[in-house]
């Protein structure tokens, strides 16, 4: 930082009105423009609430993958989330990223929301606090965070055009509240969503100015969601500051002309440019002493030597030691230098009495400040380099059905020995990505980073039910059955723009095998195939026909079919193949190894003219026009065209997919394949036999990418008949059955009373299987508490609608979403907001609150709890407020604060919970101001919104005149 507003104004004065206007449009998809006249370098932005993807969307451009946002919120642990934010900052700096487009602060309004995995909670208080913690963690190390998607962008159906109609009070008290918390935490950017609110699209909405900039004093940059700006004058006259992406779009030269014509005030553009320069100054990217981009070695000219091999990954035992409950996680302190003006981190002490106020960062990892993105090799048409061998992000045990289970490398958790990363998009030579620093281990390779990610898995895992089954004692087990496709293809992240390519992933099966290696036999049975589409080709079932190595051959062809470029890729999901001048067609070739014979499902996804052939026989061909402008569909999840073909077992077949690269069809091409589905009855019988012969069974079920993903909402909460039948069959065969639920949001669990234990894994990130094994075998306590209310069936949920009516989606429930809605309608869910069991028991003994408080004052509440179990544990003490005799429409009660405590067996500890004065306020629509209703109130404390045994009365009096 260090650049004063006066200096920024001086630099602004050196720019012409035209130059100021042009700065406010993106220069590329992920970069803003540079301006040498004031020493402004490009600013690089990246998606990734659970990881930092960087500019290249390529499976070889690996990223650390943390648990999804819903899993982070389930920790109710701001200090941990802050440390995870620091890890994301380290990844951003390694990848040359200045701005992380996270966190997502929208709410779980309806359980059908397709993007809930990327959002924290149904509750504005919890969302605001966890979001602020992530922001502090990211920004403490010189990377800017972005609060998105402002505002009321809480579902995906028709998200580009939907007009959300929401009352002023609900908007202020519920939907704007997390963004206000983000601004209070110092967030540097706010992203305006695609949707409209009360008749005006958000990129032109007055809410960008008031309350965001005027009332809250936000002095950062308001950036559009990608492609959300559809006009020039209306958006420029509003509070939007930066239109992304570029270089084409409604701003840029069009904005400069609008200013010259007097349609947009020059003062408005000056304010926007000033904000952008202020952000650049904060990042150290402005002025004569501007620092190079993160990840750029000082004095680098762009020439790079060959990438050095990183050090080997830690083995499973070392990683487990790092993740142990007694001392797991990363050390406090950091090798990362905070950006100019960023605050330093300090350790958070632990103790019996814990305050719920905002925690300081407890340190991030000892990660290199300038870590490398190694380069890659590309081929000439005549000689394709085989590239670097390794996993596409899964262990060998995680191959598709019909492929032999090869097991996993001991302790490696499915991580390859090294990676290749493609050169910068559009580069003809395939050299290192721009901004890559000197070679160093990726954060995801370091022991501390993996230990912290592993610790987060256990901290967010929610034990929904336990009938004395968990934890399992490894010393008393001879055989454990691990059952289900999700056990080997554990879904570690949600779909859409949040997706990254991890260096490796630890499946549940990997984690159980590592935990029991040398102790017990582990048997895996896949069970029936879950409902869902065919998955993309991966290295487990195909080889590149040119090199013979695992993967596929990508070729770029000219209009005459001549090869311009070729390379081996790890799988069939190619979202951003290299831009090659003269390329007319993208072709993907793979030699498919059919381990099981019969009718296979094959397909190709994308837009435009496509074909698919098997051994020279055309299976499908046609023109498939783009029917949507939604970037999540066009660029990430285009629709798939399917065909079937009979394949002989243990015989290879050549699969060739082609797609013409016509304008407007996007760049994504995906080739999918699925073997014949096994007989459901036989699969269930096999699973039951395996469970019955084992000392314990772990059955893993979950959702698919087409169920939970950006770009669409769900239509059902059902896992599907085959998965429900699988859990029931396994539980009937073995009472010591643990059902692990692998989803990012609520699903129906009709068998929840039949399983011995039910453990919610969420989308747990790259260390998912390792962290879950820590929980299953008692190395770590399940620390999670539900951040969202879990319905027994969809029909019970008080708010479900995500489908607009004539373009409008009415938030008729007002303040009553989530647990508030359940209470208002006197309904009981399967599991309440805040629910979660540990491995000990607690008694709530006393609640102390002041009998009288003045309006406008914070409130301090103390709750004494006792550990009545036989093991040390952690308890999340939750405090709720109620106003029984209010003249206003209010929820029956609402979360006002929380704090976590730890205690040894038999020990009593006191949680100190700070309740901010705002929790007692309501928004007065008549006065357009916050007001506090005097009179009797009630304070309640307990373990969840539905379990609050302690009650105290409180009198709120007006402040002194």
pLDDT, tens only, 25-59? 999 999 999 999 999 999 999 998 899 999 988 89
Summary count for the chain: helices (H), strands (E): 19, 37
Split at pLDDT 50, 70, 90, the class of 414 is: low
Supply the pLDDT for residue 48: 84
* Cα 420 to Cα 443: distance, rounded to the nearest angstrom: 15
Model pLDDT, residue 447: 86
| Residue 290: predicted pLDDT | 66
Give the CATH class of 842-957. Answer: mainly beta
**103, 126 Cβ separation under 8 angstroms:** no
Residue 743 φ/ψ, nearest 5 degrees = -145, 160
Assess whether pLDDT exceeds 90 at residue 929: yes
Q: What are phi and psi of 379, to 5 degrees?
A: -110, 155
Helix or strand holding residue 276 (H, E): helix 266-282
Does pLDDT of 370 surpass 80? Answer: no
Residues of the chain with CATH 2.60.40.10: 842-957
CB 622 within 8 A of CB 610: yes
Q: Which stretch of DSSP H or E encloses residue 258?
A: helix 253-260
Residue 298 pLDDT greater than 90, yes or no: no
Beta bridge partners of 699: 483, 739
Residues 126 and 121: their CA atoms lie apart, in Å, by 7
d(CA 622, CA 694): 51
- pLDDT value for 302: 30
- How would residue 955 be classed by pLDDT, with cut points 50, 70 and 90? very high
The predicted model gives 385-389 an average pLDDT of 28
Token pair recorded at residue 447:
């022991």
The SS3 assignment for 459 reads helix
With a cut of 80, say whether residue 923 has pLDDT above it. Answer: yes
Chain segment 432-483, per-residue pLDDT in tens = 233 333 344 556 568 899 999 999 999 999 999 999 999 999 999 999 999 9
Q: What does the pLDDT read at residue 445?
A: 61
pLDDT > 90 fraction of the chain, expressed in percent and rounded: 77
Mean pLDDT value across the chain: 86
Residue 614 pairs in a beta bridge with 617, 655
In the chain, which segments carry CATH 3.40.50.1700? 397-409+451-529+679-788
Question: In the numeric block, which tokens belong to residue 642?
Answer: 């399917």
Candidates 444, 413, 446, 416; CA nearest to 512 is 413
Q: Is residue 208 a contact partner of residue 240, using CB atoms and an 8 Å limit?
A: yes
**C-alpha distances in angstroms, 233 versus 33, 96, 151, 179, 240?**
21, 33, 21, 26, 11
Reported confidence tier of residue 531, pLDDT bands at 50, 70, 90: confident
Q: Which fold has domain 5-57+67-282?
A: TIM Barrel (3.20.20)
Judged against a pLDDT cut of 50, whether residue 803 lies above it is answered with yes
pLDDT per residue over 614-647, tens digit each?
999 999 999 999 989 888 899 888 999 999 999 9
pLDDT at 792: 98
Give phi and psi for 257, each to the nearest 5: -65, -40
Strand locations in 31-181 (E): 45-46, 99-100, 144-150, 163-165
**For 683-700, what is the mean pLDDT?**
99
The pLDDT tens digits of the residues spanning 354-363 come to 333 333 333 3
For domain 542-674, give the fold: Jelly Rolls (2.60.120)
pLDDT of residue 532: 86
Strands 842-848 vs 859-867: parallel, antiparallel or unpaired: antiparallel
Contact 204, 195 (CB under 8 A): no
Asked if CATH classification 3.40.50.1700 holds for the domain at 397-409+451-529+679-788, the reply, yes or no, is: yes
pLDDT at 213 over 80: yes
The ranges of the chain annotated as CATH 3.20.20.300 are: 5-57+67-282
What does the longest C-alpha to C-alpha distance in the chain come to?
87
Average pLDDT over residues 51-80: 96
Number of alpha carbons in the 13 Å side-chain half-sphere of residue 71: 35
Q: Is the pLDDT of residue 417 over 80?
A: no
Q: Is the pLDDT of residue 411 over 80?
A: no
Residue 358: the pLDDT is 36
How many C-beta atoms lie closer than 10 Å to residue 549's C-beta? 16
Mean per-residue pLDDT, 259-271: 97
pLDDT: which is higher, 200 or 384: 200
Give 623's contacts (C-beta < 8 A, 6+ positions apart): 608, 609
In a 13 Å sphere around the CA of 958, the CA atoms on its Cβ side amount to: 2
DSSP 619: E
- Whether the ω angle into residue 129 lies within 30 degrees of 0, i.e. cis, is no
Contacts of 762 (CB under 8 A, 6+ apart): 67, 68, 70, 71, 74, 117, 460, 461, 462, 742, 743, 744, 784
Tens-place pLDDT, residues 269-296: 999 999 999 999 999 999 865 666 666 5
Q: Delimit the CATH 2.60.120.260 region(s) of the chain.
A: 542-674
Instruction: Output the six-digit token pair for 223.
Output: 């950036």
């Amino acid at each position: 930082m260090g650049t004063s507003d006066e200096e920024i104004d001086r630099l602004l004065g050196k720019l012409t009105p035209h130059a100021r206007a042009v700065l406010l449009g993106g220069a590329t998809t992920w970069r803003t423009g540079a301006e040498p006249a004031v020493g402004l370098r490009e600013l690089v932005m990246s998606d990734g609430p659970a990881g930092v993807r960087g500019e290249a969307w390529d499976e070889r451009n690996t990223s650390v993958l943390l648990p999804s946002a819903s899993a982070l919120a389930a920790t109710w642990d701001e200090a941990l989330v802050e440390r995870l934010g620091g890890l994301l900052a380290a990844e951003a700096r390694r990848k040359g990223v200045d701005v992380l487009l996270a966190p997502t602060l929208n709410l779980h309004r309806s359980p059908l929301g397709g993007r809930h995995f990327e959002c924290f909670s149904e509750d504005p208080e919890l969302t605001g606090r966890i979001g602020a913690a992530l922001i502090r963690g990211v920004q403490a190390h010189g990377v800017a965070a972005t609060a998105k998607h402002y505002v009321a962008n809480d579902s995906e159906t028709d998200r580009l055009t939907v007009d959300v109609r929401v009352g002023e009070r609900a908007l202020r008290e519920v939907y704007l509240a997390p963004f206000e918390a983000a601004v209070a935490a110092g967030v540097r950017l706010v992203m305006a969503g695609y949707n409209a609110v009360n008749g005006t699209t958000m990129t032109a909405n007055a809410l960008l100015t008031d309350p965001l900039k005027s009332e809250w004093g936000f002095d950062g940059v308001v950036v559009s969601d990608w492609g959300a700006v559809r006009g020039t004058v209306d958006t420029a006259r509003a509070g939007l500051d930066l239109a992304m992406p570029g270089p084409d779009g409604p701003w840029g030269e069009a904005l400069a002309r609008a200013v010259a014509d007097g349609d947009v005030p020059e003062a408005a553009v000056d304010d926007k440019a000033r904000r952008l320069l202020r952000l650049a100054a904060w990042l150290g990217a402005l002025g004569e002493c501007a620092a190079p981009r993160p990840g750029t070695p000082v004095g680098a000219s762009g020439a790079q030597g060959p990438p050095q091999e990183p050090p080997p990954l830690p083995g499973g035992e070392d990683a487990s030691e790092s993740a142990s409950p007694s001392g797991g996680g990363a050390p406090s302190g950091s090798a990362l230098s905070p950006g100019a003006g960023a605050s330093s981190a300090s350790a958070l002490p632990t103790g019996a009495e814990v305050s719920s106020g905002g925690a300081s960062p407890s340190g991030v990892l000892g990660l290199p400040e300038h870590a490398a993105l190694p380069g890659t090799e590309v081929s000439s048409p005549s000689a394709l380099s085989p590239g670097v061998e390794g996993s596409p992000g899964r262990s060998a045990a995680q191959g598709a059905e019909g492929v032999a289970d090869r097991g996993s490398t001991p302790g490696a958790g499915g991580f390859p020995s090294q990676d290749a990363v493609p050169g910068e998009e559009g580069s003809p030579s395939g050299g290192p990505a721009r901004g890559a620093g000197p070679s160093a281990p990726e954060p995801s390779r370091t022991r501390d980073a993996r230990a912290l990610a592993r610790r987060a898995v256990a901290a967010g895992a929610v034990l929904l039910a336990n009938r004395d089954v968990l934890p399992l004692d490894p010393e008393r087990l001879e055989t454990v059955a691990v059952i289900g496709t999700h056990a080997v293809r554990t879904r570690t992240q949600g779909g859409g723009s949040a997706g990254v390519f991890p260096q490796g992933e630890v499946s549940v099966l990997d984690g159980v095998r590592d935990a029991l290696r040398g102790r017990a036999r582990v048997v895996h049975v896949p069970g029936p195939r879950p409902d869902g589409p065919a998955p993309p080709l991966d290295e487990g079932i195909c080889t590149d026909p040119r090199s013979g190595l695992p993967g596929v051959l990508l070729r770029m062809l000219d209009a005459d079919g001549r090869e311009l470029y070729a390379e081996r890729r790890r799988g069939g999901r190619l979202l951003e193949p290299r831009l090659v001048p003269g390329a007319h067609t993208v072709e993907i070739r793979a030699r498919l190894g059919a381990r099981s014979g019969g009718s296979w499902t094959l397909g190709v996804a994308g837009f435009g003219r496509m074909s698919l052939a098997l051994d020279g026989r055309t299976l499908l061909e046609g023109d498939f026009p783009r029917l949507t402008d939604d970037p999540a569909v066009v660029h990430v999840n285009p629709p798939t065209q399917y065909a079937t073909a009979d394949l002989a077992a243990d015989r290879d077949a050549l699969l060739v997919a082609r797609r013409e690269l016509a304008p407007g069809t996007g760049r994504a091409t995906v080739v999918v394949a699925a073997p014949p589905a096994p007989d459901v009855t036989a699969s269930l019988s096999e699973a039951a036999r395996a469970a019955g012969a084992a000392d314990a069974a772990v059955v893993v079920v979950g959702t698919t990418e087409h169920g939970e993903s950006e770009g669409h909402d769900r239509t059902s909460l059902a896992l599907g008949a085959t998965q429900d039948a699988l859990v029931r069959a396994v539980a009937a065969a073995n009472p010591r059955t643990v059902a692990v639920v692998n989803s990012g949001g609520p699903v129906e669990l009709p068998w929840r009373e039949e399983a011995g234990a039910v453990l919610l894994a969420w989308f747990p990130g790259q260390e998912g299987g390792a962290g879950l094994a820590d929980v299953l075998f008692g190395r770590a306590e399940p620390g999670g508490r539900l951040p969202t209310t879990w319905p027994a069936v969809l029909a019970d949920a008080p708010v479900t609608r995500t489908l607009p009516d004539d373009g409008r989606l009415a938030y008729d429930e007002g303040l009553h979403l989530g647990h508030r809605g359940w209470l208002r309608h006197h309904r009981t869910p399967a599991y309440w907001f805040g629910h979660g069991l540990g491995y000990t028991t607690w008694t709530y003994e006393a609640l102390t609150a002041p009998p009288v408080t003045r309006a406008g004052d914070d409130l301090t509440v103390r709750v004494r709890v006792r550990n009545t179990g036989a093991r040390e544990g952690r308890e999340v003490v939750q405090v709720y407020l109620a106003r029984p005799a209010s003249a206003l429409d209010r929820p029956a009660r609402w979360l006002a604060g929380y704090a976590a405590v730890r205690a040894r067996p038999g020990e009593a500890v006191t949680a100190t919970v700070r309740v901010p004065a705002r929790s007692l306020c309501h928004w007065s629509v008549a006065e357009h101001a916050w007001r506090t209703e005097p009179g009797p109130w009630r304070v309640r404390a307990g373990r969840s919104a539905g379990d609050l045994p302690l009650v105290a009365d409180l009198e709120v009096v007006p402040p002194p005149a």
